[in-house]
Amino acid sequence: MDESHRDVLQKCSEFLINNVRPEPLVDRLYADGILSNDDFDRLRHEATTNDKNRLLLVVMLPRAGLEAFPSLVTALKETEQSDIADYILQQLDKGRPYLQSTDCPRTIQLGLIIM
């Protein structure tokens, strides 16, 4: 996971810990190979939803490699948690500087680059 993704998870940690439904998310991340067998077992044995989310989002995912964040976003969308995926993507976009040079590709109001 790159630094900007770790920063977003840290910035949004309280919101994520309190709002993510971990059970379907953990299954999806395990199926994607983001979580190991040991990770999966540790998460299953956490007592509360908040404890599962804290372990997953604060400890495991930031160390899980470059595909962890995109896989998290996809898994959130596929487990009917799109509002949470949208929120963290908005927070990620807030932290990115947009190119302003006229030599760069045209941009539209939302900061999306059109090639």
Q: Would you kindly state where each structural domain of the chain is located, as residue ranges?
A: 3-94
CATH no., domain 3-94: 1.10.533.10
What pLDDT score was predicted for residue 93?
Answer: 86
Q: Give 102 or 83, the one with higher predicted confidence.
A: 83
Cα gap 9→94, rounded to integer Å: 13
What pLDDT score was predicted for residue 36?
Answer: 96
Cα gap 49→103, rounded to integer Å: 49
Task: Please give the share of the chain, as a percent, with pLDDT higher than 90.
Answer: 78
pLDDT tens for residues 11-50? 999 999 999 999 999 999 999 999 999 999 999 999 999 9
What pLDDT score was predicted for residue 113?
Answer: 44
What pLDDT score was predicted for residue 96?
Answer: 60
